[in-house]
Amino acid sequence: MNVHGQTILVTGGSRGIGRAIVLALAAYGANVAFTYRSQAAAAQAVVEAARAYQVEVQGYQADAADFEAAQTVVKQVREHFGALHGLVNNAGITRDKLLVTMKEEDWDAVLNANLKSVFNMSKAVVALLLRQKQGGTILNISSISGLVGMAGQTNYAASKAGMIGFTKALAKEVAGRGITVNALALGLIETEMTQALSPEYRAKLLDQIPLGRFGTAAEVARIAVFLLSDDARYITGQVIQADGGLAI
């Protein structure tokens, strides 16, 4: 998977799936920039771990849901690294509740963090990629919740479904300039979020997964590296499901 020497920007890269993607990209020789909102110590730990692969890595404290912050980060990455070749829109949150108990702020927070951030970052990155005239790639980390829906996740499902529609539309807009846009629709992945689930609820979820286990962040990261690599340059507008068969 050839990403050697490329510079990739990952949002939400200080923990979980974002952290795994940052480290996998570094392991394959990519230079990596990533954003984080508040966990400075965790971000520094990622930087140190990734630099062990002898690549350039830089973390930027910024909220991807803030339009001006997104523009600033992309500008800083361009100035520091000299070029940018790809973007992973990974930042996101959940505020799961049944619709009848969901507050307006729960809806707004999830749509802003999960979907508006994709608009913000993609707009800034696409503008740069077009100026560079060397193509590029965008990968959006979505969810099977955006494909099949999950009870208690109307806000999250709407944001992830919106991300899938965004992926397909943008892929058509920029294909002629050599820019690919794809999405990963993830199932249940072992992260801090899923580890906080009760044993009873975990067992209930596992019963619905044909492969009988949660996925790992490392597995997701390897798929992400492939979709960002030169080996995937003829793949665009696609939604790749990595869910253990949950959405079959």
State the SS3 of 59-79: EEECCCCCHHHHHHHHHHHHH
Q: Which 3 state secondary structure label does DSSP give 244? A: coil
Q: Which residue from 5, 23, 8, 28 is spatially nearest to 137, judged by alpha carbons?
A: 8
**For residue 130, which amino acid is it?**
L
pLDDT of amino acid 191: 87
Q: Which residue bears the tokens 């996998």?
A: 24
Active-site residue, selected from the candidate residues 53, 156, 201, 234: 156
Domain range summary for the chain, segments of one domain joined by + = 7-242
Q: Taking the complete model, does pTM exceed 0.85, yes or no?
A: yes
Q: E strands along 76-159, which residues?
A: 86-89, 136-143
b vs e for 120-129, b when ≥16 Cβ sit within 10 Å of the residue's Cβ? Answer: bbbebbbebb
Could you give the CA distance from residue 109 to residue 115 in angstroms, rounded to a whole number?
A: 10
pLDDT of amino acid 37: 92
156 classed as catalytic: yes
pLDDT of amino acid 138: 98
The correct answer on CATH 3.20.20.70 for the domain covering 7-242 is: no
pLDDT of amino acid 89: 98
Could you give the CA distance from residue 191 to residue 178 in angstroms, rounded to a whole number?
A: 34
* Residue-wise pLDDT tens digits, 125-176: 999 999 999 999 999 999 999 999 988 999 999 999 999 999 999 999 999 9
Which strand (E) or helix (H) includes residue 147? Answer: helix 145-148
Tokens of 226: 């492939």
pLDDT of amino acid 103: 97
Contact 34, 6 (CB under 8 A): no
Residues of the chain with pLDDT under 70: none
CA 196, distance to chain mean position in Å, is 21
**For residue 206, which amino acid is it?**
L
Tokens of 133: 């005239």
